[in-house]
Structures are given as structure tokens and as C-alpha cells.
Structure 1
Amino acid sequence: MRILLTGSSGWLGRFLAPRLLAAGHQVTGLDVAPGSHTDVVGTVADAALVDRVFRDHQVDAVIHAGALHKPDIVRYPAQEFVDVNVTGTLNLLEAAAKAGHDRFVFTSTTSLMISEEVRAGKAGGADKAFWLDDNFGPLKPRNIYGITKLSAEHLCRLYSKLHDMDVAILRTSRFFPEDDDTLTHPAGPNLKANEFLNRRLTVEDAADAHIAALANISGLGCETFIVSAPPPFDHSDRAELMRNASAVVAEKFPQAMELYRERGWVLPDIIERVYDPSKLERLLGFRCKTDFAAILGALAAGDGLPFQHDPSYVSPKERSGALC
């Protein structure tokens, strides 16, 4: 297929584009910043540009991975988020509908599921960890990023219904390589390793999930999927995760405490939310390869950690000074 990949210069795009090519697809990359897999430099907010790309490259399907993200809130005004995340998605859906596309893959985010109540967790009076699956709600995004991504999801659902287009909405959990922009303890790799218990995946798994969605969404209509490493917990663990998460982890992984101690790491005291990606495996046949057990396996073997960590990472659009 001839695939239009938006966000082709970004962190996900640099892993996704080669996988699409390896799967036999032709890829046209669209991004505001230049990159090795970007053929067209421009913004999805420009409807004329989107239409020209469809016409010139005879696009068969879209993977829309380009967006402004949560860290961009301090760099861009709210209107830019509306222009890129909402209007840009609308432009792509309009073009896809006019071209008669039968499928569309949209990269969304679990961030839109995190209301102030969920974020507050135990401090807000919750006595159980929140279990976040595709049915979780009501959704009350807490910032412009989440609001615009949820609005874009609604557009996907509308266009799927109006134009009989199968749409995979992939709410990805964390896979960024840089340090967290708000959390400082535990630092760096320790925090990322802990997050594989409940809210992280590798960028490689994120890319592979998009490939699976493109191949397997046909006939399913519009479906929303949580994309995250499979958690080792179930609903019966929710109360104890809020009281003493490290004890729950130690019970399920007896070697974890010693492996962490050898590295000077700490397990989480509290886990206030758990992402459930089981629908992704059930409907699309995809399961992330890297989970918390894989992290412990790498620690035990003395191997390199099986996830990307680069505290100096800066997105291409910021390096290039590109405007969305």
C-alpha cells in the first residue's frame, strides 16, 4: 500500500517508517521538520498541502502520528494545538474520505484519560488503583493536549460512521526517550523501568502496534485501543497497589527487590493507575514484546536495558525551529 505517515521525523516516525517499508509498503512522510523518512515538509493544518500530497503520491491509507504533545504546552499557544491536533486530523480524514480509503490509523494518547481525579490518586481519596481500559470514563482531559486529542478521536468516529471507514484509534502510553518533564524521583532509567508495570511501552512496540492496526483493523469499524506493556496485575490487586505496590511487585517477581537493590534502584511505593491493553491483543492480535519481566531479565543477565533512554533528546521540530 501507499501509506501517508504524518510525524515521520518524530520519535515514533523514525521507528515506524522503516517497519512500514520492511512490510512492503511505499511510504510518504509528512512532517514540519526535515528527516530521513520525510518527503514533504509542511503541516497537516494546511488543507491545501494535504490535498496536494494525496494527489501527488496517490495515497492508499493514512497513519496519522503527527501531533503537538504534552511537553509542547509550554512552547505553543492553545490555538496551535487546535490547528494541528484537531484541524489537521480533520484535513486528513476529509482527504481520506474523498479518496475512498477503507482504513485510517490514528495515534492518540492515554494522557486524555487522566482527569484531575485520576492524577490525584490516593491524595484525592482513591482507595484503589484506577483501571484504565477502552471503556474507562467519563473522560475529562486536564489540559489542551488531552482535549484536542479527544476531539480528534471524535472526528475519527464521525468519519468512520459517515464514510464506512475502519479506524484504529491507538491510545499509546509513554514511550518518549527523554526524562519526565515533571517527575524527578526515581531518576531516569529507574522510573522508566517501573513504568513498565503499569504505563509504558517501548517505541519499537509502539511502531509494531501501528503496523498491526493497519493490517488488522479491516471490518472492525472504529475501535479504540490502549497500547501499553501488559501489566502483571489484575483487578484484585487494585487496593494493595494503592497501599503497598512494592509488596505486590515483590510477590509476583521474587527476584525484583534484589535486582533493583544491586543497581541502586527502588520499586514504586504506590501505583495509582494501570493501563489494560488486552483489547489490542483480542481484536488486533498484538501484544507488546517488552514488559516488566523483560526488564528484570535484562537486569539479571547484565544486558543493556530493553528500552530507549536519552535525557538529551530534543524533538526535530524544536531543533529545526519549525512551526507547526
Structure 2
Amino acid sequence: MRVLLTGSSGWLGRFLAPMLREQGHEVIGLDVASGADTDVLGSVADRPLIDRVFGERGIEGVIHAGALHKPDIARYGRQAFIDVNVTGTLNLLEAATAAVHDRFVFTSTTSLMISQSIRDEAGDAAVWLDETSGPIEPRNIYGATKLAAEHLCRLAWAERGLPCIVLRTARFFPEDDDTHRTLSGENLKANEMLHRRLTVEDAARAHIAALERAPVIGFGVYIISAPTPFGRTEAAALKNDAAAVIARHFPDAPELYASKGWELPRSIGRVYDSGLAERELGFRCETGFAAVLDALRAGHDLPFAHDPCYISPKEVGAA
């Protein structure tokens, strides 16, 4: 299949493109920044460009991973988010519909599920988040535009019959958190593998699973995150003494963390449940928190990427 991959020069794209080729697909990469897997330079907001790519390249399926992200809020205005994340998605959906495609995969984010009240973590128990959680009240322009794009995907299926799979991916970025400074980057990422993170490799594999299943499912929204070891009945304990809960599941975690000079989380305020993706997409992340502990025991490299100096290729090109 000839697959148009937007965001092909980005962090996800550089892992996803080779995996798609390994599956026998021909990848046509589109990005505003040049890269090893990018064939077309340009923006998804440019409708004539999108129409030309579809016409000249014989596109048969789309994975739309290109977007402006949360860190871009400091660099771009709201209109840019609307142009890229909303209008760009509409351009691709309309082109795919016109080409009578049977699959469209959209990279969304769990960030849009986090209202200000959830972010404040004022309750006495961790918030358990799955695809039924709501109301959805994004707290910034990034989340608002991603939610709008999700609805465009839903309408493309409901009104035009274009099978669309929306993947609300948890965190997999390699750079440091731009709001959290109390723990080292690796320590924080390791902790997040318990409840709100996955590896970029697993994120790429989820997109391939979605591409395969889209014609059968029609439309679906799925949280993609490393499987949490916790259950809903532990929500209150996680909020009040997360370290104790973790030690019950992983008895040597405190000692392994201490040997690294790390800290276990004292409180966990929200947990992403990726169970629906496992049941309907047949997808489960290969790497979880247990793999982090395995690496610490063996003295091996950690199973997730950490690069505090990472800069988006689009910003490198603009510098």
C-alpha cells in the first residue's frame, strides 16, 4: 500500500516510516522539514499541495502524524494551530474521501483529556482515564485543535464512510518535560511508564495496528499507553501513597531506584487505561514499567529514549 505519512521528519515519523516499509508498504513522507523519510516538503494546511500529492503519488492510505504540539504554544499563535491541526486534517480527510480510501489513522493525544481540574489533582483519588471519560475540556489550544480534528475524523466516517482510527497517544517525547523540574528527566520518564507514557517504538507499532484494522472497525478512538500495573480499586491509594502501591507490585523497585539515586512517585493523580486498544485493535505496548526495572537490575540501557537536547526538525530548520 502507498501510505502518506505526515510528520515524517518528526520524532514518531523517523521510527514509523521504517516499520511501515518492513511491513511491505511504500511510504510517501510529507513534512515542513527535510528528513531521511520525507519525500515532499510542505504543510498539510496547503490544500493544493495535498491534492497534488494524492494525484501524483497514488496515495492509498493515510497516517496523519504531523501537527503543532504543546511545546509549540510558546512559538506559534493560535491561528497556526488551527491552520495545521484543524484545517490540515480536514484537507487530508477530504482528499482521502475523494480518493475512496478505506483507512485513515490520526495521531491524537491524551493531553486533550486533561481539563484544568484534572491537572490540579485536587481529589482524594487518582483519576482513571479511559475512552468513556468526560466531559472533555481541553485546557489549551493544542488540546482544543486536536479534539476538533478528532471530530472531523468522526464526521468523515459518519457522513462519508471513510474508516478512521484516532489514537490518543500518551507521552513518548524524548526531551525533558517543559513544566516539571523536580526530578531528572530519566527518573520522571521511568515513573510515567507506570501510568502515562510509552516508548516511541510502541507508538509506531500502534499506528501500524490501526492501519491494518481501520477497514474492519470503521471508526474508533483509542488511548495508547504502556499497560498500567494498577487497578481501579487502587485509585485512592495511588493518590495518597503511590510508592507503597508500587512496592506491592514490584517489591524490589525501592531498592533499584535507590541504587540509581531516583525517587518513586509519592502520589499519582491520573492513570491512562489502554485496555480498549488491546481488546479492539489487538494492540498492547511491548514495553512497560517492568522493563525499566529489568534494565536497572541488569545495568542495561533504559528501554525508553531520553534526549534533553532534542529539538524538533522544523525548529532546527527555522534557526
Superposed CA deviations along residues 5-52 of structure 1, whole A, max 9, x for unmatched, are 000000000000000011000010000000000000000000000000
Tell me which residue corresponds to 2:20.
20
Where structure 2 has 5 or more consecutive residues not aligned to the other structure, the ranges are none
Deviation at 1:217, TM superposition (A): 2.1
Residue 320 of structure 1 corresponds to 317
Please report how far the alpha carbon of residue 186 of structure 1 lies from its aligned counterpart in structure 2 after TM superposition: 1.1
After TM superposition, give the deviation of residue 166 of structure 1 in Å: 1.4
**Hey, what does 1:99 align to over in structure 2?**
99
Deviation at 1:219, TM superposition (A): 2.0
Which residue pairs with 2:70 in the alignment?
Answer: 70
Report the equivalent of 1:85: 85
Percent identity between matched residues is 63
Give the 3-state SS of the residue equivalent to 1:136 in structure 2: coil
* Match in the other structure for 1:43: 43
CA contact (8 A) 2:102 2:214 kept: no
Matched residue of 1:218: which SS?
helix
- What's the counterpart of residue 248 of structure 1? 245
2:188 maps to 191
**In the alignment, which residue of structure 1 is the partner of 2:270?**
273
1:198-233, Cα deviation, whole Å (9 max, x unpaired): 000000000000011101122212100000000000
Secondary structure, aligned partner of 1:28: strand
Selected match of 2:208 from 194, 206, 211: 211
What CA distance in whole angstroms lies between the structure 1 residues aligned with 2:40 and 2:214? 27
CA-based RMSD: 0.7
Q: Which runs of 5+ in 1 are unaligned?
A: none
Aligned partners of 2:103 and 2:162: how far apart in 1?
Answer: 5
Assess if the C-alpha contact under 8 Å between 2:167 and 2:224 holds in 1: yes
Contact 2:3 2:28 in 1 (8 A): yes
The residue identity in structure 2 corresponding to 1:146 is G
Give the TM-score of the pair, scaled to structure 2. 0.99
Instruction: Give how far 1:65 is off.
Output: 0.1
Aligned to 1:284: 281
The residue aligned with 1:302 is: 299
The number of residue pairs the alignment matches comes to 319
Q: Which residue identity does 1:133 align to in structure 2?
A: D
Whichever residue aligns with residue 288 of structure 2, its letter is D
| Distance in 2 separating the partners of 1:11 and 1:94 | 26
Match of 1:217, SS state, is helix
**Which residue is equivalent to 1:182?**
179
Greater than 3 Å deviation, 4+ residue runs: none
2:227 aligned partner: 230
Output the amino acid matched with 1:87: T
Q: Note the C-alpha offset of 1:128.
A: 1.1
| Equivalent residue, structure 1, for 2:57 | 57
Q: Deviations over 1:222-270 (max 9, x none)?
A: 1000000000001100000110000000111001000000000000000
1:168 has 2:192 as partner:
no
Q: Report the Cα distance in structure 2 between the residues aligned to 1:200 and 1:160, rounded to whole angstroms.
A: 29
In structure 2, the residue corresponding to 1:259 is in which secondary structure?
Answer: helix
Q: Which residue identity is paired with 1:21?
A: R
Which stretch of structure 1 is more off in the superposition, 65-74 or 163-172? 163-172
Distance 1:180 1:106 in 2: 24
* TM-score using structure 1 length: 0.98
Q: Which amino acid aligns with 1:66?
A: G
Q: How far apart are the structure 2 equivalents of 1:133 and 1:199? A: 12
Q: Residues 281-321 of structure 1: CA distance to partner in whole angstroms, max 9, x if unpaired?
A: 10111100110011101111111101100000000000001
Question: What SS does the corresponding residue of 2:183 show, helix, strand or coil?
Answer: coil
Distance 1:72 1:261 in 2: 35
Q: Secondary structure at the match of 2:82?
A: helix
**Conserved? CA contact 2:28–2:39, under 8 Å:** yes
SS of 2:215's equivalent in the other structure is coil
